[in-house]
Structure 1
Amino acid sequence: MKEETMDKVDDKFSVESEASGSISAEMELQVDNDAVIPVIPLFFIVFLVALCGIVYELIIGTCSSYLLGDSVYQFSLTIGLYLSAMGIGSYLSKKVENRLLNVLFAVEIAIGLAGGFSGLFLLAAYTNTDYYHPIMFLLIILIGAMAGFEIPILVRILEKQANLRETLANVLTFDYAGALIGSLAFPLLILPAMGVVKGAIVVGLINIFAAFLTVIFCRRAMDGTFKLLVAATAVGAGLLFSFARADEVTKILESRLFNHRVVFKAHTRYQKLDLTRWHNDIRLYINNHMQFCSVDEYRYHEPLVHPAMSLAGGGGRVLILGGGDGLAARELLKYPDLKEIVLVDIDPDIVKLCRENPLISKLNEGALDNPKLTVVSMDAYKYVEQNPERFDCILIDLPDPNNVSLSKLYTKTFYMLVRSRLKPHGALALQSTSLYFAPKSFWCIHETMKAAGFFVRGYHVTIPSFGDWGFQLASLNSFEPGDLRVKVPTRYLDDREMKNIFAIAEDEIYRGEKLACNTLIFPKVLQYYAMEWKKW
């Protein structure tokens, strides 16, 4: 009888507990050793874990894009490996049966260590070893596996709540929210303000902070944390020390990427900028690709500008797409009949650098401050799409089509938009990578322009720092290169050389299979470019 009475009491207590569980579990939960811990901090830890994970993923993809090029491939590889590794980590988490909070704390420390130093590891691997890819793969798999390991552990801790359905919903809500904030914070704040090396270190410190939060709010449910606290303190101190010395170490490592001393570097919202100097040799690099060398840049900018200006009549209004260094504008300002230059560059920071840095402003002769020039900070594609104005001459001075964002500026659609912004007598010139090193890319651009309705002639020059470099000269009407004349003072290009640059050698004429037109849907020039430059 006494046992039956006790059973009824237990049943009543169980029913009452279930009824009140959803309310009390919102604020605290009871773990295996009867210690009660708050739930909200654990949800916040889920948020931080997701934020850090997505940022590490972006840092590794960005590093690989900067160092190896082909951003689509690098990010696809990073995302695929990372997600697969998360699956491995999630699977392995089932082998942990107890002391879940201690395990979570240890994993946070390990991720903070691996992820926090990921930018530095990758840069050091690229500049000091031939094993960049194995090290990159190892980092992705290691960080991804630990990130995948954490979420199931957190779910199992939180499933002490009465309702597993609500637990999963809450965990995934905070997980996705953290991923959203991380994916926004990286391009808008972390990358432009700190770069990949210091940015990774800061995110590593967030992981260590999450580890300490675990102890602060869950210490009653944990035991044997002294060694873990020492490890977390050591890793945190190491990250702080590395943050303080990051600029110095990065400068040393990056100097190995370039032959000359780095005198300026920055991560803008759009790209990585490096300026190097050796005596009078000034070089600007964007994402580790050289944009100009002060010793011979005139052999690039004179052929870009003067054939088109000769064909267009040498005056009027000129549109420059790209050209934020002001060097093409310098050549244009030699024409007395020039009325206006509109320079469209997506990155205002590169224009600011080339306007304010005395090394570059001396080279461009203050062109970016000339009253005839107007700077528009806008994507070139959007500008020609939205702006109805027409120009006498258009110069496209953009980087090579080495990623999808740039490839769209070499498409038939883009050239048709540019064509609609050109006056009937106008001329268009653009750089189109190396005729010798990347002939398929060069002739693909050539054929794409023809498909957009231009009459096109390809030409090329020798630039010591670049090699044999190609250009396209186009108009709405047919023309003969022999009729072009140089009408302003130059250092390299004269009337005789104007004729010579249009001569294409036999081994530079492409005679292979028919080249596809480059379009938005099928960016063939990106494929050609990646294949050809990989050989060199």
Structure 2
Amino acid sequence: MAAARPPLPVSERRARALLLFCVLTVAVCGFVYELVIIALGTYLFGNSIFQVSIVLASFVSSMGLGALLAKPMLGRAVEAFVAVEAAVALAGGSSAMLLYASFAWLDLYQPTMIVVAALIGVLVGCEIPLLMSLLGRLGRREPGSSVADLLAADYLGAVVAGLAFPFLILPFLGQIQGALAVGAVNSLAGLLILWLFARELTRRARVVASAALVAVLGALALAAALAAPFEVSARQSLYDDPIVHSERTRYQDVVMTHERGTDDLRLFLNGDLQFSSKDEYRYHESLVHPAMAGRHRSVLVLGGGDGLALRELLRYPDLRRAVEVELDPRMLDLARHDQRLAELNGRSLFDPRVEVVQGDAFSWLRSRAERFDVVLLDFPDPDDAGTAKLYSAEMYELVRAALAPGGRVVVQAGSPYFAPEAFWSIERTLRTAGLHTRPYHVDVPSFGDWGFVMAAVGGPPALELAAPAPLRFLDRGVLEAAARFPRDRSRLPVEPSTLDRPRILEYERRGWRDY
């Protein structure tokens, strides 16, 4: 006959409710750790499809291994669960700091990401069997009923985490502090189970388990206190020049640097250089002025929230209206109110001819029926799923519909030297959308050989200039040369990119892999 178990500190019904609450809590924690690893990798590298796939594969497969490893521990489920919670609190809580350090100082991010995801997955996989064993101790119930209750709590935890991460944890705590806070929650879950089943343990076991969890909480608190200087130091190590502005917005990681003793201001989004004030005029003159050689009373700018393309547009006195559509409101705030950037863009966002719209360019085009003489697409390079849709045939079909008769569109298309497949895929995708193209490229020292594609409906638009005053870089001779491509960078037989088949991601990855 089985020995009677010691009494619980609360009624059996309440104990069951607390245990199921613990199931929900650890499910939230495990899911948040996944999201932290995915989000950090996406910020640092782009290519969110790759990050999601690798993290999920490592995490979920390791959960299966953890479930098997938990089987020998079921006889001492309380002690085992407390130990697992202490370990997962440390591993998951410190995951963001560890990954950031491996990227900033060791250049070992990808292997570290896989190891961390697998380790957390093993520990999370141990939790459910141990909790199921503890749930079985609380009264006589059908096993199927207990499994249903446990899985319901587990799945609800995934919902809670999925909502809490983007709307609460990321905006208010960030990834590093958020992971540390969730680690503390894991420790508290361990303390809850320890209190609930304390009478099943010896006094010595209770003291050791309590001390371990409290020590973990102390370690996480210390890490939280050091997180801010750690992040500043790690982030600065990624850039040659001093960081003068840094923030992680809802959409991207925004960093500006300023070289001491010079006027070189640089903007980085998710670690990728967007411009250097030393030569950004070459890029923006080449993006804007060829398209402005035709009719240009109304212009639509998609992306380009730094205001630099607008600066070039506003040179034209006969421009009546320019609409700027930018996804990230913090980028617009920076362009308006940061003195360095506002001086560089000529305070273009305050011009009365400019209408600023905060929103997703793809969705905005779908909801509007306006037509424009010129449409400029000045998006970051297509290195993740979010930006890949902005280089799709479906996007360019929306752009074509937004063109007034005789209108022109220009797309920044990356480097025909470093990523030729991506460049020519953009050109091919524009043609697939029913536009006639005119590719060209110029030298921008900060980027190297950089390309653009101008397109129109009736036929290939001519490369011309009609600027109201001489430009710093672009003239007719430079523009004529820009239309010529050397034999080793001539048109390639590539496929268009679509929402269903975002080929641009693979072309972009292959192009920049060795640089």
Q: Same fold (TM over 0.5)?
A: yes
Alignment of 1:504-523 (within 5 A): 504-511=485-492, 514-523=493-502
- Supply the AA of the counterpart residue of 1:32: R
Q: 1 CA distance for matches of 2:88 and 2:434?
A: 55
8 A contact 1:46–1:151 mirrored in 2? yes
Q: 2 CA distance for matches of 1:421 and 1:134?
A: 45
Q: CA deviation at 1:515?
A: 1.3
Q: CA deviation at 1:34?
A: 4.5
Q: Tell me the residue number matched to 2:134.
A: 157
8 A contact 1:316–1:339 mirrored in 2? yes
TM-score scaled by length of structure 1 = 0.91
Q: 1 CA distance for matches of 2:109 and 2:505?
A: 23
Alignment of 1:156-305 (within 5 A): 156-160=133-137, 161-163=139-141, 164-223=143-202, 224-279=205-260, 280-305=263-288
Alignment of 1:337-356 (within 5 A): 337-356=318-337
Q: 2 CA distance for matches of 1:267 and 1:31?
A: 55
Q: 2 CA distance for matches of 1:474 and 1:215?
A: 67
CA deviations on 1:215-246 (whole Å, 9 max, x unpaired) are: 33332333312122222222211211221221
Stretch moving more, 328-337 or 470-479: 470-479
* Distance 1:480-1:423 versus aligned 2 partners, 3 A rule: closer
- Supply the AA of the counterpart residue of 1:182: A
Q: Tell me the residue number matched to 2:88.
A: 111
1:44 aligns with 2:21: yes
8 A contact 2:372–2:402 mirrored in 1? yes
Q: 2:375 aligns with which of 385, 394, 406?
A: 394
Alignment of 1:369-380 (within 5 A): 369-380=350-361
TM-score scaled by length of structure 2 = 0.94
* Distance 1:354-1:194 versus aligned 2 partners, 3 A rule: farther
* Distance 1:97-1:211 versus aligned 2 partners, 3 A rule: closer
Q: 1:88 aligns with which of 59, 65, 83?
A: 65
- Supply the AA of the counterpart residue of 1:329: L
Q: CA deviation at 1:36?
A: 5.6
1:524 aligns with 2:503: yes
Q: Tell me the residue number matched to 2:5.
A: 32
1:448 aligns with 2:429: yes
DSSP 3-state at the match of 1:225: helix
8 A contact 1:395–1:428 mirrored in 2? yes
Q: 1 CA distance for matches of 2:311 and 2:457?
A: 26
8 A contact 1:391–1:422 mirrored in 2? yes
Q: Tell me the residue number matched to 2:410.
A: 429
DSSP 3-state at the match of 1:338: coil
- Supply the AA of the counterpart residue of 1:493: L
CA deviations on 1:66-99 (whole Å, 9 max, x unpaired) are: 2233110111110011000000001111111423
Q: 1 CA distance for matches of 2:330 and 2:464?
A: 39
Q: CA deviation at 1:250?
A: 0.7
Q: 2 CA distance for matches of 1:482 and 1:213?
A: 71
* Distance 1:217-1:475 versus aligned 2 partners, 3 A rule: same
CA deviations on 1:445-492 (whole Å, 9 max, x unpaired) are: 111111211111101111111111110111123356454333334221
Task: Quote the RMSD (CA, aligned, Å).
Answer: 1.8
CA deviations on 1:355-397 (whole Å, 9 max, x unpaired) are: 1111211111111122211111111111111110000110000
Q: Tell me the residue number matched to 2:447.
A: 466
Q: Tell me the residue number matched to 1:408.
A: 389
Q: 2:317 aligns with which of 336, 339, 344?
A: 336
Q: CA deviation at 1:429?
A: 0.6
* Distance 1:482-1:49 versus aligned 2 partners, 3 A rule: closer
- Supply the AA of the counterpart residue of 1:133: Q
8 A contact 1:273–1:285 mirrored in 2? yes
- Supply the AA of the counterpart residue of 2:47: D
- Supply the AA of the counterpart residue of 1:302: E
CA deviations on 1:144-201 (whole Å, 9 max, x unpaired) are: 0110100111011001231122211111111111111111111222222222212211
Stretch moving more, 497-506 or 174-183: 497-506
8 A contact 1:93–1:153 mirrored in 2? yes
Q: CA deviation at 1:207?
A: 1.1
Q: 2:340 aligns with which of 320, 342, 359?
A: 359
Q: 1 CA distance for matches of 2:196 and 2:154?
A: 19
* Distance 1:483-1:81 versus aligned 2 partners, 3 A rule: closer
1:65 aligns with 2:46: no
Q: Tell me the residue number matched to 1:76.
A: 53
Q: Tell me the residue number matched to 2:303.
A: 322
Q: 1 CA distance for matches of 2:191 and 2:73?
A: 21
Q: 2 CA distance for matches of 1:213 and 1:276?
A: 47
DSSP 3-state at the match of 1:395: strand
- Supply the AA of the counterpart residue of 1:162: R
8 A contact 1:340–1:373 mirrored in 2? yes
* Distance 1:130-1:325 versus aligned 2 partners, 3 A rule: closer
- Supply the AA of the counterpart residue of 1:288: G
8 A contact 1:486–1:495 mirrored in 2? no
Q: CA deviation at 1:425?
A: 1.3
Stretch moving more, 254-263 or 418-427: 254-263
Q: 2 CA distance for matches of 1:320 and 1:483?
A: 20
Q: 2 CA distance for matches of 1:516 and 1:78?
A: 29
8 A contact 2:372–2:407 mirrored in 1? yes
- Supply the AA of the counterpart residue of 1:211: G
Q: Tell me the residue number matched to 1:7.
A: none
Stretch moving more, 400-409 or 82-91: 400-409
Q: 1 CA distance for matches of 2:171 and 2:283?
A: 30
1:534 aligns with 2:486: no
1:384 aligns with 2:365: yes
Q: CA deviation at 1:496?
A: 2.4
Stretch moving more, 385-394 or 181-190: 181-190
8 A contact 1:458–1:471 mirrored in 2? yes
Q: Tell me the residue number matched to 2:97.
A: 120
Q: 2 CA distance for matches of 1:35 and 1:173?
A: 24
CA deviations on 1:284-328 (whole Å, 9 max, x unpaired) are: 111111111121111111111111111x33x31111111111111
Q: Which has the larger radius of gyration?
A: 1
- Supply the AA of the counterpart residue of 1:351: L
- Supply the AA of the counterpart residue of 1:307: P
Q: 2 CA distance for matches of 1:359 and 1:479?
A: 38
> Structure 2 stretches of 5 or more lacking a match?
none
Q: Tell me the residue number matched to 1:16.
A: none
Stretch moving more, 501-510 or 358-367: 501-510
8 A contact 2:455–2:461 mirrored in 1? no
- Supply the AA of the counterpart residue of 1:195: G
8 A contact 1:486–1:494 mirrored in 2? no
Percentage of identical aligned residues: 38
Q: CA deviation at 1:344?
A: 0.9
8 A contact 1:486–1:493 mirrored in 2? no
8 A contact 2:435–2:455 mirrored in 1? yes
